Amino acid sequence: MAGVQYKAEIIGIRDTVQMLKKTEPEIFKEFKRSAQTAVKPIVDDARARLTAASARTGQPLPGMRRPWAPGGRQIFPWNQTKAIKGVKVQVRPSKEAFLTVTQREIAPAVFDIAGRKNSSVFSRNLDLFAKASRSMWPAAESKEDEVTKNLAELVDYVNEQTNSKLRY
């Protein structure tokens, strides 16, 4: 899977989230929903980049419309709807990157990463769009400031909620 591990260091967020999960499960559920909204600019930008890449023909390269399953593992054909819906946010407070934006579909993940380690005709053709990573990482970099601001506001809100609960 092509995953973006977006590292924006916000002081105290990991401890706050872990404590929140244990002590206030209802506020934690609200936090998860709000965190997905905070990271939405990256998701929207990644989806827009996938849409732009396949605007002319419905897939980035013409050969991507044909079935391809090396070793029995289905990689292509490209499905634009699945490519767009495959960009997901995961909230996992126990992991190092507790908020991740990933591409859950294999064809768009291949489009995003192909050619990062090895050059081939396929990856050189994809380089006409951009160098690897073509959608996920550029989306994260372009929306870094906005997402950092959103997450800082979210942490402040969660801190207020937990502090008010602790007072009463």
Kindly state the tokens that stand for 16: 């706050």
Please give the model's pTM, rounded to 2 decimal places: 0.77
Contacts of 36 (CB under 8 A, 6+ apart): 89, 91
Neighbours of 109 (CB within 10 A): 20
The pLDDT value recorded for residue 166 is 59
Residues of the chain with pLDDT under 70: 1-13, 16, 93-95, 164-168
The pLDDT value recorded for residue 145 is 92
Q: How far lies 114's CA from each of 1, 67, 108, 119, in Å? A: 12, 17, 10, 8
The pLDDT value recorded for residue 6 is 46
Report how far residue 69's alpha carbon sits from residue 25's, in angstroms, rounded to the nearest whole number: 43
The pLDDT value recorded for residue 22 is 81
The pLDDT value recorded for residue 139 is 92
The order of strands in the sheet holding 87-91 is 2-4, 99-103, 87-91
The pLDDT value recorded for residue 93 is 66
The pLDDT value recorded for residue 58 is 77
